[in-house]
Amino acid sequence: MTVRTGLSVRVKGPLASYATGVAEDLCERGYADVSAWHHMRLFSQLSAWMEQAGLEPPELTASEVGAFLGDRRRAAPTGLRTERTLGPMLTYLRRVAAVPELVTAPPDGPVERLLERYRDHLLRERGLVTTTAAQYLVDARMFLRERVSTSGQLELVAMNGEEVTQYVLRECRRRSVASSKLMVTRLRSLLRFLHLVGEAPPLAEVVPMVPGWRASGLPHALEPEQVDRLMVSCDLETAAGRRDHAMLTLLVRLGLRAGEVAALELDDFDWRSGEVIIRGKGNCQERLPLPVDVGEAVTAYVVNGRPHSHCRRLFMRARAPLGGVTSGAVKAGMPPPRWRPAEQACTTPSPPGGAWVPAAAAAPGRSGSPGRSPSWRSRAAPGSSHGRYWGRGRGPGARRRSA
């Protein structure tokens, strides 16, 4: 079976019947015609490779994908050679149940099995979100791997305070103060868990503290004029500029963290009552008043800047693949960390004009109120046998060479 898509790419083989759907999905996710054409050529090569190998779509497992990419690396030295490049196509095929779902290998070895139990403890008992638990596991894995004996077994029962202290001192020598503080916090959490499940003696209290005071290096708060210059730096003639202006307005006026801005969804805004739901740390949700200028900035972006997508996240990526922004994207391209305008502004007395002071500064549990301390860590603003499948070809709009 051979199918020719609207991107001028001919697909033959076992995946030909899904070519039109993949092409439409790429367009819906915001890929430009040239980028979508290159992805469809890769899809065509994958389908031709499967036809030669005698594979049907249900047989396209992770190992077969790896074999295809290995052949492609040997035949095509550059371009579209990693599993990530196949992600958009494989995501669509898995969504329509054409290929099997990606199966995660079970934990192998004593360290990974113990980490799996620790992860469940963090998520279920301690209420951490998935991303935070993953960060805890990074430091836990480093510590536990040093406790593996030559026979491959974990030696935790005989562990003592001196060994824990030496590990902390060794790690602190190669880390910054902030990173060291996070490391000892995560190590205490791990040691408490190990004692709780009977794997190790109680050693959480012997973990030394890292010297360094949170408020010692804080910069002075921004002046109102500086905040104004930051706000007008957004180009409101572009979709990305309207998005950045809306994110900055939320950061400055409501004193939100970067992660809270990134987590906002369209359904979080109650326009009739003038409130917005904020998802904060610890999976807690709070309702905050929605000032007029915040609503206007968000509306301007949603109406004249936000791309059409099935994703319900408020702030979207400006480039394909379309999806919600991350907390890192909220911080990207903004002033250096020493500025921290939003949260610094949250703790600054109101100037005579007062327009930029957060409307929720006095709300329970928000920055600037006794119920919640500001998070200073977040920035304020925003030669193969398959060689014939790897030909360069011509993309849309490519020039023809003269004869």
SS3 at position 48: helix
Residues 146 and 88 in one domain: no
Domain boundary among 346, 369, 396: 346
* Residue among 282, 219, 293 at smallest CA distance from 252: 293
Range of the domain at 6: 2-95
Q: What pLDDT is attached to residue 130?
A: 87
Does some domain include residue 304?
Answer: yes
Q: 377 — phi, psi (to 5°)? A: -75, -20
DSSP H or E stretch at residue 94: helix 87-95
Domain boundary among 95, 119, 141: 95
- With b for 16 or more beta-carbon neighbours within 10 A and e for fewer, the 86-125 pattern comes to bebbbebbeeeebbeeeeeeeeeebbeebbeebbebbeee
Does some domain include residue 300?
Answer: yes
Residues 84 and 174 in one domain: no
Residues 286 and 341 in one domain: yes
Does some domain include residue 22?
Answer: yes
Does some domain include residue 102?
Answer: no
Q: Provide the domain count of the chain.
A: 3
Partners of 148 in the β-ladder: 154
DSSP H or E stretch at residue 276: strand 275-279
Q: What is the CATH number of the domain that holds 156?
A: 1.10.150
**Interatomic CA distance for residues 243 and 298, integer angstroms:** 8
Does some domain include residue 380?
Answer: no
Residues 6 and 89 in one domain: yes
Residues 83 and 138 in one domain: no
Tokens (6 digits) for 403: 């004869």
Residues 334 and 251 in one domain: yes
- pLDDT exceeds 60 at position 378: no
DSSP H or E stretch at residue 21: helix 19-28
Residues 269 and 165 in one domain: no
Per-residue pLDDT reduced to its tens digit, 171-220: 999 999 889 999 999 999 999 999 999 999 999 999 999 887 665 555 56
Instruction: Return the number of other C-beta atoms located less than 10 Å from residue 304's C-beta.
Output: 10
Q: What is the CATH number of the domain that holds 266?
A: 1.10.443.10
**Interatomic CA distance for residues 367 and 369, integer angstroms:** 6
Domain boundary among 36, 60, 95: 95
Does some domain include residue 101?
Answer: no
Tally of helices (H runs) and strands (E runs) in the chain? 14, 5
CB 386 within 8 A of CB 52: yes
Residues 228 and 324 in one domain: yes
**Interatomic CA distance for residues 139 and 254, integer angstroms:** 33
Alpha carbon 226 to chain centroid, angstroms: 30
Q: 112 — phi, psi (to 5°)? A: -70, -35
Does some domain include residue 373?
Answer: no
Q: What is the mean pLDDT of the chain?
A: 79
SS3 at position 372: strand
The DSSP symbol for 104 reads P
- pLDDT exceeds 50 at position 309: yes
Per-residue pLDDT reduced to its tens digit, 276-288: 999 887 778 899 9
Partners of 289 in the β-ladder: 275
Return the higher-pLDDT residue of 94 and 369.
94
Does some domain include residue 385?
Answer: no
* Residue among 387, 375, 393, 260 at smallest CA distance from 325: 260
Residues 249 and 341 in one domain: yes
CB 255 within 8 A of CB 374: yes
Q: What pLDDT is attached to residue 353?
A: 40
Three-point CA angle 41, 47, 49, nearest 5°: 100
Per-residue pLDDT reduced to its tens digit, 46-98: 999 999 999 999 999 888 988 998 888 887 656 667 788 888 899 999 999 99
DSSP H or E stretch at residue 12: strand 10-12
Residues 286 and 176 in one domain: no
Q: Please state, for a pLDDT cut of 70, what percent of the chain lies above it.
A: 75
